[in-house]
Structure 1
């Protein structure tokens, strides 16, 4: 199968699944399973797909992502994030270009709290 047909199949499958009301993540999962079956050849591809999924879950590099989401939700729900941004905003109240400076200071503050330089 040439790439235009493969693209049409996969894109049509994702759009069709979402049009039927399937959540986006499950629509992409369905497209991945159908694509693995169609392009890699039969049931052997599905066992390879399952093995790759299990291997991807076990990687340590993906572990911090849900924890950062949890931390952000806790900071938002507790009101600490709003108080921190308000404090930084009051600290530099009369500086021109304040929005960009508040963003940088807020990011620095939250990366200090989380212990991550990337945050």
Structure 2
């Protein structure tokens, strides 16, 4: 392996370490970006670098894991957004229900005042 190839692989693994850190810190957008950067560097190294097949297979396996994690994060973020929207919609329904109950109470209160008079 030449020096440039070694640098590209090292840069890819640095991105992967950063992605793992961001993932654990729940900074999912940044984790996705750095997992993809790691995958790009490592894929580039296997396409254009001269290396033995064992190393290529090892790098490809890591790239596959990173890309799988990106998909998992995207699915998680989509599900969380859907849950948040559902929660907001449920809350809106509750607010309108409460408004209706308050109006109903006020109407009963007005009617009861008329009865008392």
Structure 2 length-normalised TM: 0.26
With CA pairs under 8 Å and 6+ residues apart, which has the higher RCO, 1 or 2?
2
Larger helix fraction of residues: 2
Structure showing greater Rg: 2
